[in-house]
Structure 1
């Protein structure tokens, strides 16, 4: 069974057509073996528009992957929008991404990315650069099908 995924790229420049969205394409390529991307949106760095984009997908997909807007710039508000929507955080996902990033660059500690659940949908903030998206997604991707199965009520044991 393929899982349903929504990709939401948060970028002022990409939303205006001033820059190609390479990060969203990286995500699509990386999940294509086990998931179907049924929605792909590009929105500007505006909290209300990010929230709307996430909320619009909640009942349609198993996983929402945002990219962009996770840093310290005043317009980086993706985590803030996400936190206003999710019911529970899944901090290990963001911690794992930051840990892998720190092995490559000290500025990875500045990421404010969050992950959490709303209903039966997992929402994860990824960074904005294609390289960072690939690195972060590589570290969490194998756990995502299991996480989605658990959200859907899979009663099997987690331990091996």
Structure 2
């Protein structure tokens, strides 16, 4: 499956990375995976916090078919990516974060991720992923299989994935 022609934004949410105190490792994993599927990818780095995350999301929605965040989905006081995302979603897609958590079932902390997924009023798909390298790899794998079909559906393509009957 391909994301050819799709515009994706990967937003890394991290106080330490945005301050230059740590290297962003999860954002490049996601960007590389989506680029390998022929998507045009834009990367953004923002600190934790409802305001910076929501502002980055709103800007990304204007020029993207999908936005994937990495970081800020846990339970620490600064993990507020779901709170920044929730007001922007009109159609919730709980199966996406469930699939990511299920794929990471061997990692006990995966159950603590509060990531959301859904469509905005502009029909842009937003997915929140945890910020660890392992979660980025798992998320890239799961989304690499889901996004081509999901974005096709958003565009109004035929309902059946390629190769499957009606």
Q: What is the TM-score when the length of structure 1 is the normalising length?
A: 0.93
**For the residues of structure 2 that align with 1:88 and 1:145, how far apart are their CA atoms?**
18
1:92-111 to 2 correspondences below 5 Å: 92-102=95-105, 104-111=106-113
Aligned residue for 1:52? 55
**For the residues of structure 2 that align with 1:157 and 1:13, how far apart are their CA atoms?**
42
1:19-52 Cα offsets, whole Å, 9 max, x none, are: 0111110011111122111x21111111011001
Specify every segment of 5 or more residues in structure 1 that has no aligned partner in the other structure, as ranges: none
Pick one of 39, 43, 47 that aligns with 1:40.
43
Aligned residue for 2:92? 89
**For the residues of structure 1 that align with 2:71 and 2:100, how far apart are their CA atoms?**
14
Q: Does 1:78 align with 2:102?
A: no
* SS in structure 2 at match of 1:40: strand
Question: Which stretch of the first structure deviates more once superposed, 66-75 or 117-126?
Answer: 117-126
Aligned residue for 1:129? 132
Aligned residue for 1:6? 9
- Contact 1:70-1:78 at 8 Å conserved across structures: yes
CA-based RMSD: 1.2
Q: 1:158: how far off?
A: 2.2
Specify every segment of 5 or more residues in structure 2 that has no aligned partner in the other structure, as ranges: none
Q: 1:86: how far off?
A: 1.1
* Equivalent residue pairs, number: 157
Aligned residue for 2:115? 113
Moved over 4 A (4+): none
Q: What is the TM-score when the length of structure 2 is the normalising length?
A: 0.90
